[in-house]
């Protein structure tokens, strides 16, 4: 066994997903009046060239930082999913002008650091944990009080890991039981700079503290024992913030931001989202005869772990025209059907691909041999408990696996397609877009197809996923 180390839209509330009660992990019941179930079936090889939507992490941050810069920031390639629209609506509610000028093209006229306005009502975050946690950081050092709400799924996600450090900076919180939404943030003015060691690797917590530090006098420091995605550091520097990153011999990163920053507007080209690309990488690798090129994929080393792991499993993935776009490494990825082999995935790679593990689990389920994953506790507090949900979903589709506390151990089929879901069995998404898309991929490489109970959550991050998948199999 190998080992890998490796326009102007309406306000978001009008776009918000309908709320629903939590379902069992697999279920044949759903709200027939609103859910959009679909059976994804094998349609033959995937062939063609595609370009996935812009990176969600960069899209969120480009709007937030643009709203804090004085002047006009121009963004192209912005991901126009519901999560990013939630961020746009929130920044608009706090005084910034955020306008769509074309497909993926937006302008943001900022108010300046320290000048966010009191919103007139609650900020509806829909399903976006990233929007919520990062905006809590922004608000924490401004003299405003902001109420955050979200859908049923987001309201189940704990926010204490952000509340704790922001409280040390002087902000106060009124949260629902367990540190959950709805909650109110009462910003501190002035806030207090802190030095904070992340107890759990989390780019969202790190980013929330750094964003709070923008309007905090003095130096705010975040110490991360395990490196996480660094889009915030790159973009803060690009917007003119005084930020230093020191890497220790053991890999620990010390990030120091000097507060009361003056941000300058930027022109940003958002690269393709590697998290979105992951679904097509896996689909092409496990579907016989497939040959696909995915253009303009961001390959930031703190984000692109999925590519290295799939290559370690024997995946034929070639990086073409490697280049830099706006300070981010980018390439076109040529991927072909491959005979994958199971590996032991080094838990150190988890922060660089934490959102891509559901797709990886699908790949592992049809590989030869055993794939072992560990160190994935974070997956239990995502939009759903992704370990439990994917374990049950893949089992319902015919996979062989063991669920452990911090990961899955999957015994693959040796290249044979999964059987698929039996009649009357649906895969419950729990309002989790990545569950829906991962099991869609499992369906196109199965014998009898996989029935997903609700495809609506896909719109939060990848509204054109289904049409793009259909285009490749046409």
Q: Is pLDDT above 50 for 6?
A: no
142 and 277, same domain (yes or no):
no
Contact 328, 271 (CB under 8 A): yes
- Establish whether 202 is an annotated binding residue: yes
Cα–Cα dist 216/203, whole Å = 20
Number of domains present in the structure of the chain? 2
103 and 240, same domain (yes or no):
yes
235 and 315, same domain (yes or no):
no
Burial class (CB in 10 A: 0-12, 13-18, 19+), 251: exposed
User: What tens digit of pLDDT does each residue of 435-460 get?
Assistant: 999 999 999 989 999 999 999 999 98
Q: How confident is the model at residue 41 (pLDDT cuts 50, 70, 90)?
A: very high
SS3 (DSSP) at 206: helix
User: What tens digit of pLDDT does each residue of 57-72 get?
Assistant: 999 999 999 999 999 9
- The pLDDT of residue 137: 98
| Residues carrying an active site annotation | 355
128 and 30, same domain (yes or no):
no
151 and 244, same domain (yes or no):
yes
Which secondary structure element, helix H or strand E, spans residue 149, and what is its range?
Answer: strand 145-149
Q: How confident is the model at residue 32 (pLDDT cuts 50, 70, 90)?
A: very low
- Establish whether 61 is an annotated binding residue: yes
115 and 131, same domain (yes or no):
yes
- The pLDDT of residue 33: 54
- Establish whether 129 is an annotated binding residue: yes
Q: What's 383's domain CATH number?
A: 3.65.10.10
Burial class (CB in 10 A: 0-12, 13-18, 19+), 192: middle
Show which of 224, 245, 269 is a domain's final residue: 269
Q: Is pLDDT above 80 for 19?
A: no
192 and 341, same domain (yes or no):
no
Sign of CA dihedral 16, 430, 354, 330: negative
Q: Is pLDDT above 60 for 414?
A: yes
Cα–Cα dist 230/172, whole Å = 27
Contacts of residue 23, defined as CB under 8 A and 6 or more positions apart, other chains included, come to 29, 30, 428, 430, 453
75 and 196, same domain (yes or no):
yes
Q: Is pLDDT above 70 for 276?
A: yes
Show which of 236, 269, 302 is a domain's final residue: 269
Show which of 269, 284, 309 is a domain's final residue: 269
Q: Is pLDDT above 80 for 246?
A: yes
Which residue segment(s) compose the domain that 259 sits in?
56-269
User: What tens digit of pLDDT does each residue of 91-101 get?
Assistant: 999 999 999 99
Q: Is pLDDT above 50 for 191?
A: yes
279 and 201, same domain (yes or no):
no
Residue with tokens 């108010």: 111
- Establish whether 434 is an annotated binding residue: yes
132 and 251, same domain (yes or no):
yes
Helices 386-396, 433-444: crossing angle, 10 deg rounding: 20
Q: Is pLDDT above 70 for 182?
A: yes
336 and 404, same domain (yes or no):
yes
Contact 188, 171 (CB under 8 A): yes
Q: Is pLDDT above 90 for 325?
A: no
Q: Is pLDDT above 70 for 190?
A: yes
Instruction: Put the strands of the sheet holding 47-51 in their side by side order.
Output: 47-51, 291-298, 328-336, 316-325
83 and 121, same domain (yes or no):
yes
Q: What is the pTM of this model?
A: 0.82
């Amino acid at each position: 066994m190998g080992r890998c180390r490796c326009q102007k839209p309406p306000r978001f509330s009008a776009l918000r997903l309908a709320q629903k009660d939590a379902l069992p992990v697999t279920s044949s019941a759903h709200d027939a009046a609103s859910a959009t179930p679909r059976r994804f079936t094998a349609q033959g090889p995937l062939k063609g060239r595609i370009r996935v939507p812009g990176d969600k992490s960069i899209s969120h941050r480009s709007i937030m930082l643009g709203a804090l810069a004085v002047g006009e920031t121009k963004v192209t390639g912005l991901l126009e999913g519901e999560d990013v629209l939630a961020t746009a609506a929130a920044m608009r509610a706090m005084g910034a002008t955020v306008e769509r000028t074309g497909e993926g093209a937006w302008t943001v006229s900022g108010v300046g650091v320290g000048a966010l306005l009191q919103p007139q009502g609650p900020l509806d975050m829909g399903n976006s944990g990233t929007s919520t946690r990062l905006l809590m950081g922004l608000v924490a050092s401004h003299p405003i009080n902001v109420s955050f709400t979200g859908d049923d799924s987001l309201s189940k996600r704990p926010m204490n890991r952000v509340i704790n450090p922001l409280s040390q900076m002087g902000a106060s919180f009124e949260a629902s039981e367990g540190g959950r939404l709805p909650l109110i943030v009462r910003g501190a003015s002035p806030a207090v700079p802190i030095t904070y060691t992340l107890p759990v690797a989390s780019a969202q917590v790190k980013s929330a503290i750094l964003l709070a530090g923008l309007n905090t006098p003095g130096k705010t420091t975040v110490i991360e024992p395990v490196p996480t995605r660094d889009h915030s550091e790159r973009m803060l520097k690009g917007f003119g913030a005084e930020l230093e990153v020191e890497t220790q011999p053991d890999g620990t990163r010390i990030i120091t931001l000097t507060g009361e920053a003056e941000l300058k507007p930027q022109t940003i080209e958002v690269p393709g989202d590697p998290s979105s690309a992951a679904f097509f990488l896996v689909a092409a690798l496990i579907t016989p005869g497939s040959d696909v090129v995915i253009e303009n994929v961001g390959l930031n080393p703190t984000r692109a772990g999925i590519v290295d792991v799939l290559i370690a499993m024997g995946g034929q993935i070639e990086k073409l025209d490697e280049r830099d776009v706006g300070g981010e490494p980018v390439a076109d990825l040529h991927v072909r059907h491959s005979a994958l082999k199971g590996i032991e995935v080094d838990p150190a790679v988890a922060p660089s691909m934490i959102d891509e593990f559901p797709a990886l689990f699908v790949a592992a389920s049809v590989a030869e041999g055993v794939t072992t994953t560990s160190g994935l506790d974070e997956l239990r507090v995502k939009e759903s408990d992704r370990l439990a949900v994917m374990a049950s979903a893949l089992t319902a589709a015919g996979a062989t696996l063991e669920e452990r506390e911090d990961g899955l151990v999957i015994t693959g089929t040796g290249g044979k397609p999964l059987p698929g879901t039996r009649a009357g069995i649906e895969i419950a998404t729990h309002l989790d877009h990545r569950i829906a898309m991962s099991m869609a991929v499992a369906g196109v490489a199965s014998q009898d197809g996989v029935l997903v109970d609700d495809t609506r959550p896909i719109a939060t991050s990848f509204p054109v996923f289904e049409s793009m998948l259909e285009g490749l199999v046409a």
